[in-house]
Amino acid sequence: MAAPTLDRLPAAARWRRPGQRPPAVLVVPALAAAGVALLPLVYLCVRSLDRGVPELIDLLWRERTLRLALRSLGLAAAVTLASLVIGISLGWLTIRTRLPGRRAWAVVAALPLAVPSYVAAYAWVAAFPRIPPFVGSVFVLTLCCYPYVFLPVAATLGRTDPALEEVARSLGKSRLATFFAVTLRQVRPAAAVGGLLVALYVLSDFGAVAILRYDVLTRVIYTSYRSSFDGTAAAALGLVLVAITLAIVWAEGRSRGRAAQARVGSGAARQYRPLAMGRGATAGALVWAATVAAFALGFPIGSLTYWLVDGGTAALDAGALGQAAVSTVTVSALGALLTTALAIPVGVMAARFRSRGTRALEQASYAGHALPGIVVGLSLVFFGVRYAYPIYQRTPLLVLAYAVLFLPAAVGAVRASVAQSPRVLEEVARSLGRSPARVLRDITLPLAGPGVAAGAALVFLTCMKELPATLLLRPTGLETLATELWAETEVGAYAAAAPYATLLVLLAALPTFLLGHRRRSATLDVPGGVS
């Protein structure tokens, strides 16, 4: 037998791995971040098993559960379908045709993202108090959500190669047949991703359905929690909602994988020459685009203005408004701070130390992406009552909920901005005598700073709009703009709600404006804000 030489030993025995392992200064806080992100999900499972498995099955095995689940799914399906029709048609009209003023229309079509769904619901309910719940919910949510389809579809249409369509025309297909056979095929991956985002948004939306009084899972979870001392039923329904959401997220992940495969080549070699339409078609298209804009933007803005003017200064409680604004800014700033602090170690590790362990940590931090705000709020309420009473109904628990909900957006921002600076800079710093932790402080973070700050700002603005978790977790006596709007709307004080709604729209317009600017880079990076 040959003597064991160095070459025959297993690799691990021969050399210790160099600095590819993340330093403890990253690992420990990243583990904490993953723990925070998973806490609501884990505790929701624990809480719903509070009275044992048979009781849980008994709670879930009811016709009501099935009815609620089907309602949620039905609403999601209806809104998704309607959003696909509006999003794809507007995308095609603004990118591929010579619609008069098409660039302006493209900007206008993206703007409804700036209207939080509960603000839109308030605007409609204030004007038509008898609006039927289902119809109203579909209507309002579609007008808020179709940009999630429009943006990726427009981006895809702008960069695909027109040659395919020209070939189809030259092979004798009519314009319409070409649209269905070629164009729709090209936008299918983008439309699928957008559609799944819409479905996800609708399933987790609380504000709009609650204001329009449509009993889907989110609203019933809230009312059953409010109406009984025992939260187990609410927790069980939360579990159902999470299961449905996870299924949707899973489907979205799969569709993204396929979308990546479906893209061939590196993009269009030529600019697409927009299609000239006949006079009748142009008029029809203009009417269509104008109608969507009127309902999605014009009406809410008009309604807000009406109530603002109608209420006048009499209804305006400047003190309450100012206090709510200060509270909103305070808790949102704390939320953005904590979220970013937790996101930095996870994002740096995801960008710089790829391994199975770091990937698991990153994935765990994305839990908030699949958790509706109402579920996170509910789970943390239970957790706070039982294990963290000192912070129950105080700011820390609310801030924690924001961290769970918006960690995905912040981690994405950190990861992208760290990955942007070349790794060689960190290696040079190491060779100049800096330890990994100090390299992080002196090189990695200063270079990633602007991107991380932009991510933090986005989280800050998203926190300000958050409704369901804030409603459940806000400290006693603290009101944010969103909860004030909610409270006034619930008692039908539409004029009193108007100033809050106006401020919220203005705040929400900021990230939409930024998003619109980044649209041309064509990455689908929609903030995970859900109301």
Partner 1 sequence: MSELVVRGLNKSFGGVHVLRGLDLVVPAGSLAAVLGPSGCGKTTLLRIVAGFEAADSGTVELHGAVVAGPGVHVPPERRRVGVVPQEGALFPHLTVAGNVGFGLPRNGRRATRVDELLALVGLAGYGDRMTYELSGGQQQRVALARALAPDPALVLLDEPFNALDTGLRSAVREDVRTALRRAGATAVLVTHDQEEALSMADLVAVMAAGRIAQAAPPGDLYATPSDLGVATFVGDAVVLEAIATAAGAQSPLGPLRLRDAAARGPGRAVVRPEQVLLDDADAGVVGTVTATVFYGHDALVRLSVPAPGGPVPVSARCQGLPPGVRVGDTVGLRVVGPVTFFPA
Interaction site with partner 1 (CB under 8 A): 6-7, 9, 11, 13-19, 422, 424-425, 427-436, 442-443, 446-447
What is the rounded CA–CA span in Å between residue 218 and residue 49?
20
By beta-carbon proximity to partner 1, the closer residue of 14 and 64 is: 14
By beta-carbon proximity to partner 1, the closer residue of 9 and 309 is: 9
Q: List all residues 6 or more positions away from 457 whose beta carbon is below 8 Å from its beta carbon.
A: 336
What is the rounded CA–CA span in Å between residue 489 and residue 455?
32
| Tokens standing for residue 437 | 């932790």
Q: List all residues 6 or more positions away from 93 whose beta carbon is below 8 Å from its beta carbon.
A: 99, 102, 105, 285, 288, 289
What is the rounded CA–CA span in Å between residue 430 and residue 426?
6
By beta-carbon proximity to partner 1, the closer residue of 223 and 435 is: 435
By beta-carbon proximity to partner 1, the closer residue of 190 and 349 is: 349
Report the nearest approach of partner 1 to the CB of residue 360 (Å): 22
| Tokens standing for residue 531 | 């109301």
Report the nearest approach of partner 1 to the CB of residue 347 (Å): 19
By beta-carbon proximity to partner 1, the closer residue of 6 and 176 is: 6
Report the nearest approach of partner 1 to the CB of residue 21 (Å): 11
By beta-carbon proximity to partner 1, the closer residue of 67 and 441 is: 441
What is the rounded CA–CA span in Å between residue 136 and residue 124?
8
By beta-carbon proximity to partner 1, the closer residue of 9 and 385 is: 9
What is the rounded CA–CA span in Å between residue 245 and residue 371?
7
Report the nearest approach of partner 1 to the CB of residue 443 (Å): 6
Report the nearest approach of partner 1 to the CB of residue 448 (Å): 10
Angle formed at CA 463 by CA 462 and CA 469, multiple of 5 degrees: 120
Report the nearest approach of partner 1 to the CB of residue 412 (Å): 23
Report the nearest approach of partner 1 to the CB of residue 457 (Å): 20
Report the nearest approach of partner 1 to the CB of residue 445 (Å): 10
By beta-carbon proximity to partner 1, the closer residue of 423 and 520 is: 423
Cβ count within 10 A of residue 325: 18
Q: Could you tell me if residue 172 is left (phi over 0), alpha (psi between -120 and 50 degrees) or otherwise beta? A: left
What is the rounded CA–CA span in Å between residue 115 and residue 304?
11
What is the DSSP code string of 284-298?
HHHHHHHHHHIIIII
